[in-house]
Amino acid sequence: MSKGINLKELSLRLNLSQTTVSRALNGYPEVSAETRKRVAEMAEKLGYAPNSQARRLATGRSMAIGHVIPRSIHEMMNPIFLEFIAGAGETYSRHGYDMIISVVEDDHEEDAYRQIASRKKADGVIIHGPANNERRHKLLQELNLPFVVHGRIPGAEEETSWIDMNNRRAFERATNLLLDLGHTRIALLNGLEHMDFARRRRRGFEDALQARGLAPETSLMRSSDMTEPYGCDNAMEMLKSDNPPTAFLVSSMISAIGVARAIGQCGLKTGKDVSIITHDDALSFLPNSGEVPIFTCTRSSVRFAGEKAAELLLDMITIPTSAPKSLHLDAELILGQSTGPAPSS
């Protein structure tokens, strides 16, 4: 494995100029077919591969996409984040881009973006988990760094490119299903509501209730990082209350598992005594499939979202003048074993 052969040596071996060799390998037209073939063969034979740094310096494009994640990124983001990343990563490598991930202290997030821009570390970035009072897009616009949002930035829907699922609609439909099944006391275990997605979900939930003349009860609504214990503890508390809910709408499979545990610990049966609908991000390590899925759910593949987000971003980078483009995905409402008619008390 002859290491370290570079363009100059290769061109010497071929009795050609670096220009011609470079052009031959990069598919430029001003090279005869025969020469191109000869070059390709020699390059292959000698195991030539262009040095990325040199190429990047010369072209001015870093051929990389950045993802900045603050150290303390809220826990539940994690598995979802990874799945998104996996999807995006596939797209990147298909297009010859690298993915660079910066794990930074929370108060260095802005710094991280500035560095990416000023040191030309990446040609674009993806914004994860937009909050209600999001500001990162302002910074990126100022830095002139192309970006795509995973989720939506309230108030900046028009001026930014984003990919999001219809959170409001999904939770509205889910709520309606529970209402149709006769449930009237429905609990909402939501994600952190300073995040845009959670707020939308809550709105969907409330809209559905109000459309049937029901008022959302604050005692049945919680918001937190979506861990398993969060689901269990809160469900437990509610189930033990005077007027317990008969159904739970949960923002994540992981918490839903906790809810199911609580239901079991109360001696009740999921899907019979108490119903659950959860959102399912289609995480690969938490399959909710099979003939009849364990959980009735609203499902939307976050991995797919990652793939698409990456495509949007690469498009923006290759055609810098293009207007913002966005993708609005609809979640499927899938019936599983965790829902049933409200028990007639």
Report which of 339, 332, 331, 328 is spatially closest to residue 164, judged by C-alpha positions. 328
219 binds DNA (CB under 7 A): no
Per CB under 7 A, the list member of 3, 12, 17, 115 interacting with DNA is 17
Q: Which is nearer to DNA, 21 or 232 (CB)?
A: 21
Nearer to DNA among residue 120 and residue 203 (C-beta): 120
Q: Considering the complex, what minimum distance in angstroms separates the CB of residue 22 from a second copy?
A: 15
CB of 319 to DNA, least distance (A): 16
Minimal distance, residue 35 CB to DNA, in Å: 4
Residues that bind a second copy (CB under 8 A): 1, 3, 47, 49-54, 56-57, 62, 64, 69, 71, 75-76, 78-79, 81-83, 85-86, 89-90, 92-93, 98-104, 112, 115, 117-121, 142-144, 225-229, 254, 257, 260-261, 264-265, 283-287, 290, 294
Residues 21-50 that bind DNA (CB under 7 A): 22-23, 25-26, 30-33, 35, 48-50
In the bound state with a second copy, the residue whose beta carbon lies nearer, of 213 and 285, is: 285
Are 132 and 201 in contact by the 8 Å Cβ rule? The answer is no
Asked if 144 touches DNA (CB under 7 A), the answer is no
Among 6, 78, 93, 322, binds DNA (CB under 7 A): 6
Nearer to a second copy, 23 or 261 (CB): 261
In angstroms, the Cα distances linking 264 to 34, 271, 275, 279 are 73, 11, 12, 20
Shortest reach from residue 32's CB to a second copy, in Å:
27
Give the number of residues in contact with DNA, rule: CB under 7 A: 29
286-294: long-range contacts at Cβ-Cβ below 8 A with a sequence spacing of 24 or more? Answer: 286/79, 286/253, 286/254, 288/253, 288/336, 292/335, 292/336, 292/337, 293/334, 293/335, 293/336, 293/337, 294/336, 294/337, 294/338
Binds DNA by CB under 7 A, chosen from 41, 45, 54, 111: 54
Does 72 contact DNA by CB under 7 A? no
Binding footprint of DNA on the chain (CB under 7 A): 4, 6-8, 15-20, 22-23, 25-26, 30-33, 35, 48-51, 54-55, 57-60
